[in-house]
Structure 1
């Protein structure tokens, strides 16, 4: 149902079938369990301290490991950062970050329109914000310049949405991912065990969750979600996959504003990344002692492995050899 997307909305029956297949074992896929596994690995290796290099969700695991086992961390590389407080299921950072990312890409490629303003007009006309954000977030892996997107948004804002819809359809068609490469069941189990939502956590009774989500949508302002709308924030698959997830025990969260241990930390981000916008990186930097921050121009998600610009990889090389 979701391909390789974090944001596509699966069918309710698919969510129910997945949760039933996992049963009570779903709660053992939390990040707290992953952190415990990493420390068992450290012990088996016989190392007193380890260096962790995390990308995307891996940054969250590395941060949580450092908070749980500060004496066993030598240094951290955090690439495409999810802050230690966890991801925001309503993406209230990524929504406004879209304006910055599209304008930056547009300026670099010489387009003459304002894609952020056109996006806002398009969402207002067609109510398709969640589908657009999903497509853009997937497309960054193929083209960090978002080629063709400003033109499609400009036409849609002017009343001709065909090119934009074709773009969305093409992205989804090319976004398939077999379970062997990406288990959306594992992904959902982890999100639902870790996440904090408008209704609380997965330990909140299912019956009251939808009403809590609707109250949240009504209280969101246009300023919080521009260039999208409040319905976009409450219509993302990363949130809705947990709306009907069965009630389960969830691990406690670490203190929200506790700093990472005082070890060297390198934080990498791309200025075209919508999956983990660099605004998240700067949130985490505030909870880091003397952080080293590198923002790579022209890079989207996963700077070390995907960026054409080598600056991020060179920064890691230099950081690890200090």
Structure 2
């Protein structure tokens, strides 16, 4: 649902959720493990805030080689057992897929760095496979690099809601209103999905929370035998990282939060999703500049003479497709106005997706062409992917239930932010979720060591700059913020900004951090 789910992709790799590669809009990526365990028959309460992993004996990890042709040399994998419910540590156990790349220079090694993926639903094992070589080159032998697949994702124990395929498309998991702004169908689908998850998800689904991911990370630290961890968290991973740093401040070493979520404990993911309306508006001018650049003329991707003409062209085309969807090369899946809007919203994650969006717009405007849908809007997610996207954001905090309030919010958002047409504030299955959150969201504060470096693109479509400023304010002197004057989601080693990359690398390698918040130009 985000990145934030609603961040559906890995930015470098959420509502949230990045080259946003095949199915680039998913924060979900298959782990290196070929199979995943699904456990839905277990019953029992969700973990409460009173339980911690500290009283559990540290599990042993049995590492095995798991190199892939497209991955880094020397990658190893293991399985980490964790309690389904930390208040019943001797009860049913889940299995988490974990992975590591050992330092190639033992004399230079100073510790272990955890990569925390976006999402909810991102795979840390897959992210390590994709980014491990780049991190090795940048960081030398400073760290062992490790990642884990959070419960519900990749090769870890997974859950299922038993959803019909039509309810598992990204364009339906995200509640895009009808062409006239009506949300009746969104209400019916949200209720249907919530009921299916309540009937079929079981205790595993109820245990998919940020709080449990944080506990699982602490369990992983113990199994690794490390006194402290360093980390690089991206998108939703910044919220996970911030909560870990709040719960276990003395277990953090050098902590990097990249593309930051607003930590408002009253809203959590609901706020992240709502923020995406502003994020699309901030970022769209970058695409407009691309689509009006004379350099795109030869490839046929120039859409307008001037950047200011691209936005009305896009809005007009989306409205036209609302009235008359186009057949596509994907049988039974037409290009609707909302599919175009979803393709736009996710293409804004990285400049290297602009050509795909421009090509889709060009095809949609050509009556002789048959549009080719990007993978993220062409087919459904798996049932397990859809389940984890929803479960974490619905289990973390209570969502408003008033249908009337959602109708009013959608109408206001459509007028103010027409690019996203009311989707970010529309009703979701969380409004009909059957179980109350087991615990209150963590309030992020300035109580803890000053060892956090935040890095943030100014024009981020998924985790907008305003939300990052709220996290920066909450952390106080614990953090420094590096603002990068560029667009896109995910900064470090993702969009080629040398200034921002240098700041993160210097901090992770030497501990040197700017004395105050700094800004990097777009280069």
TM-score between the two structures when normalised by the length of structure 1: 0.73
Which of 278, 288, 297 is 1:96 aligned to? 278
Match of 2:345 in 1: 137
Could you tell me which of 507, 511, 523 is aligned with 1:319? Answer: 507
Is 1:264 the counterpart of 2:444 in the alignment?
Answer: no
Aligned partners of 1:129 and 1:154: how far apart in 2? 14
Q: Is 1:36 the counterpart of 2:215 in the alignment? A: yes
Q: Measured at CA, do residues 245 and 264 of structure 1 come closer, stay the same or move farther in structure 2, by a change above 3 Å?
A: same
| Equivalent residue number for residue 8 of structure 1 | 171
Deviation at 1:52, TM superposition (A): 2.4
Structure 2 CA distance, aligned partners of 1:150 and 1:283? 34
Q: Which has the higher contact order (CA 8 A, sep 6+)?
A: 1
Task: Write 1 or 2 for the structure with the bigger share of strand.
Answer: 2
In 2, the alpha carbon distance for the partners of 1:84 and 1:264 equals: 18
- Residue 183 of structure 1 and its aligned partner are, at CA, apart by 2.7
Question: Retained in 2: the 8 A contact 1:265–1:292?
Answer: yes
Tell which structure's C-alpha radius of gyration is larger: 2
From 267, 284, 294, the counterpart of 2:482: 294
RMSD (Å) for aligned C-alpha atoms: 4.0
Pairwise mapping of residues 150-299 of structure 1 onto structure 2 (< 5 A)? 166=371, 169-170=373-374, 172-173=376-377, 183-197=385-399, 199=400, 209=401, 212-219=402-409, 221-222=412-413, 225-228=416-419, 231-235=422-426, 240-255=428-443, 258-259=445-446, 261-290=448-477, 291-298=479-486
Q: How many residues align?
A: 300
1:138 deviates by 2.4
The separation in 2 between residues aligned to 1:294 and 1:188, in whole angstroms, is 31
Q: Is the 8 A contact 1:271 1:299 kept in 2?
A: yes
1:83 Cα deviation after fit: 2.5
Give the secondary-structure state (helix, strand or coil) at the position aligned to 1:303.
Answer: coil
Matches of 2:279 and 2:203, distance apart in 1: 37
- Larger proportion of helix: 1
Partner of 1:202: none
Choose which of 8, 11, 25 in structure 1 pairs with 2:204: 25
Q: Distance in 2 between matches of 1:214 and 1:130?
A: 22
In structure 2, the gaps of 5 or more residues are 2-7, 9-22, 28-169, 174-188, 294-305, 324-335, 512-523
Q: Distance in 1 between matches of 2:232 and 2:385?
A: 22
Deviation at 1:17, TM superposition (A): 4.3
Once the two structures are TM-superposed, the CA of residue 54 in structure 1 deviates from its matched residue by 0.7
Partners of 1:95 and 1:226 within 8 A in 2:
yes
Check the 8 A contact 1:80/1:268 in 2, yes or no: yes
1:279 to partner: Cα distance: 2.6
Question: Is the counterpart of residue 113 in structure 1 residue 113 in structure 2?
Answer: no
8 A contact 1:266–1:292 mirrored in 2 = yes
Deviation of 1:148 (Å): 7.0
How has the CA–CA distance of structure 1 residues 300 and 240 changed in structure 2, closer, same or farther, with 3 Å as cutoff?
Answer: same
Query: Following TM superposition, by how much is the alpha carbon of 1:78 offset from its aligned partner in structure 2, in angstroms?
Result: 0.5
Structure 1 residue 185, shift from structure 2 partner: 1.8
Label 1:166 to 1:283 Cα distance change in 2 as closer, same or farther (>3 A). Answer: farther
In 2: Cα distance, 1:161 partner to 1:218 partner: 36
Work out whether residues 26 and 189 of structure 1, in 8 Å CA contact, stay in contact via their aligned partners in 2. Answer: yes
